[in-house]
Structure 1
């Protein structure tokens, strides 16, 4: 009695051996540069490797699922291709017919045409093996997991984008507020420069006033002893000349002291005025935003404008300038009344 399982195992083993022999074949051995010299098969490694790669797609472990007819196809195809490869290895220049070039050309053309034949024979078997190796349940699970991950990432990304958008809007609004404040506040630098310049001049004139006062004091002390200096005029005429000279010198030095002090006070006064204008312009935006209506903002604007644009005193006159008057109260009453009527 014939054992069918042994027959199947024999066909499977033969097919696996033939397939593995082709899959592990070294195509570089076909060139044979040292043996053939100028007749070496250069350029055959790539087409041969292309066919070997086609056999490598079909795994030997999947052959156990093929019936005997398909195993024979695999075995015969692999053996036929290996026989062609052996022809390259056994090629002998001395026995080549009809000529060496024609024999080599025939072998190379056979190798190039072999790919299509092998592809046609192995295509159904490779397709079955590829389908058999795929775990479609695992693929479906992976696809579902990828979809869930994509959905979660998209939700997280949208949340982050919304958060960043809100932060960007807040930052943009802050930038606009700062820009608006800077648009008004940067004008205060002009008054600051004026205040700094007057402060510098004030210190200079203060030092000059102190030196002039010191000179006046020293001269007052020295004048007590001038009449005792030898060589000065005596008598009533000399006393008269000495008195007149003292009065003139005292007058001149005193005038210089007064002039220096007035310049000092003038620069100090102007420094304080410009500093006050700088503060008024720098705080105008905050005061205007603190008001609840346009009428109140207009009142703040009027006071700020009066403080900023009123002419400053020079320090040479005791009275203030005519333009330094504050905003009359009568100008504020209509605005307050308009604000009250609009609120009603």
Structure 2
């Protein structure tokens, strides 16, 4: 019998949130993130080391006997909420969640230990838009060497290890230095994608690619909803704060009824997003059946993308002229929300998957 999901945050989760938020407040202010997007090196590796190594967050999903924290997806979701709230340019989702889940499925203890201790950054070499169970591109393997080109690989630019699916059905660990990695134009400058070219690169077989990729992308999609929640919550909170301060006709703009209605509607949508994201994280953490996990993830992603985009769009519009400037961080949130809305499958793709899972026929 299935237990009821627990959508509330525990004391430990709130303590974790406070610690992560304090670190991000000190080291991830908006001006610094914007400056990094202009530098050609958007990833904040020092911040990643502080989170992953200093706080041990890279190993939340890894068992303690493999140098991890032995925590669950609920704790990882709290971290991602805060990273989303700060649009932090770190490879947490791609390395500590997606790559780690793939290696957990393969059972490679040595690589898991290196990922958990932040000795290496991992990246699953599957295009960011691919959904769990969807088709993904593979490379050719000949005499133990990998040949091929993969595009749209998130955070490949800072990866030390690439997890590459090959045409023999295997998932291979490839040293990133053996690949040619070329940045591609990315809408979200805080999570850039890249092209990966393998020309005879050696790889170490980890296990079967299909179950590993499916598990990794499902966990990525489920916890992405928490990142989207964090970004949407920031957009709502900052917009409310701004409208309380901004005056027109000697009155706070937030006092106008039309804007109150817009913000009230957005608040309801963000609250519903929180419920969907928490349910996805709790279901992933509870060890429930694959079908229950798939349903929870599909529900969360069918809802999260549109809400996060709408929250960012409302924030930009209601900030008026200042919201349109490069100096104001709202554009970072809009770009992240837009990019996240297609990451690990669009809302439409997840609705279609959900319809099949619950046997809901199309009209």
Structure number with greater CO (CA < 8 Å, separation at least 6) is 2
When normalised by structure 2's length, the TM-score is 0.24
Decide which structure has the larger Cα Rg and report it: 1
More helix by share: 1
When normalised by structure 1's length, the TM-score is 0.25
